[in-house]
Amino acid sequence: MNTELIVASLSGAVALVSVAYSSQANRKNSLLKEDLDRQAAERNRMLERQDVMSRFRDPLLWAAFDFQSRLYNIVGQHFLRVYFVHPHDQLYVVRSTLHVLAEYLGWVEILRRRIYFLDLGNKEANRRIVALLARIGGVLNDDAYPDRHFQLFRSDQRAIGELVIKKESDSDSCIGYAEFCARLESDPGFASWFTRLADSITALSALEGRHPRLVALQAALMDLIDFLDPEQERFPQKRRFRVSRS
């Protein structure tokens, strides 16, 4: 075998080895890039989940707390009986009670519209929060109570939630108390959604004892609060009162 043939053979072998090594290196680099991309995507999903839950969980938590706090005062502290004395106080009691209910329903409706974002990290957590929201809605809707005081059908719950969502806003939010009161006074269509609820509040002020719907509703809201704030970062245990059923 002449020298040129030997050199050509060695060159060919080196080229093949080089191609094989290069191909293997490229494959390793490709796998590494895919792995890094997966890690980056997971980090982004985690950050997005934290951002979404920060945007939606906290407003819902505060709205639920304000709503249950009013129910606790009505059922456990005789709030209606104490303040249904002077006309001005009566007006405040009715409007502020309607507002905390409406604001809670507004944030529930916002979450319903963004439900595909509602990822708490695992399927069990997702099922739990949906079940808690459904339970609260069920108590409001239930016609098994001895009267229809503070009853609100499911479609009406959604309608009220829609009404209090800010229409002209770059971010999801609900109207405040001042705007809510102004619309009750100036918009008959808006106010009509709250007429029966307002009548219920007036009727409840004259009732003796604890209305079972309000007791069940306050308990369901507290369960939601415990779920949304398990570490008691927003509301410590000393602020978490539950109405006794007796």
Q: Tens digit of pLDDT for each residue in 194-215?
A: 999 999 999 999 888 889 999 9
Winning range, highest mean pLDDT, from 72-81, 119-128, 222-231: 222-231
**CA 185/CA 4 separation, integer angstroms:** 102
User: pLDDT higher for 81 or 36?
Assistant: 81
In a domain? residue 11: no
SS3 label, residue 75 = helix
In a domain? residue 180: yes
Structurally, how many domains does the chain consist of?
1
Q: Is the pLDDT of residue 159 over 90?
A: yes
In a domain? residue 39: no
In a domain? residue 5: no
Q: Is the pLDDT of residue 162 over 70?
A: yes
SS3 label, residue 222 = helix
pLDDT at 42: 64
User: pLDDT higher for 103 or 146?
Assistant: 103
User: pLDDT higher for 118 or 142?
Assistant: 142
Choice among 15-29, 35-49, 112-126, 221-235 with the minimum mean pLDDT: 35-49
In a domain? residue 31: no
At 121, is the pLDDT very low, low, confident or very high (cuts 50, 70, 90)?
A: low
In a domain? residue 98: yes
| Alpha helices in the chain, H assignment, sequence order | 3-76, 79-83, 87-113, 123-141, 154-164, 177-186, 188-192, 195-204, 212-228
pLDDT at 155: 97
For residue 50, how many other CB atoms are within 10 A of its CB? Answer: 12
**CA 98/CA 84 separation, integer angstroms:** 15
**CA 94/CA 92 separation, integer angstroms:** 6
- Dig out the tokens for 27 from the structure: 């494959």
| Residue partners of 148: CB distance under 8 A and separation at least 6 | 200
Q: Tens digit of pLDDT for each residue in 66-104?
A: 999 999 999 987 888 888 888 889 999 999 999 999 999
Q: Which domain holds residue 105?
A: 53-239
**CA 167/CA 170 separation, integer angstroms:** 9
Q: Tens digit of pLDDT for each residue in 165-191?
A: 998 766 789 999 999 999 999 999 999
| CA angle, residues 71, 139, 181, in degrees to nearest 5 | 50
In a domain? residue 10: no
pLDDT at 145: 92
**CA 120/CA 107 separation, integer angstroms:** 17
User: pLDDT higher for 148 or 47?
Assistant: 148
Average pLDDT across the chain, whole number: 84
- Dig out the tokens for 21 from the structure: 């090594």
**CA 96/CA 181 separation, integer angstroms:** 9
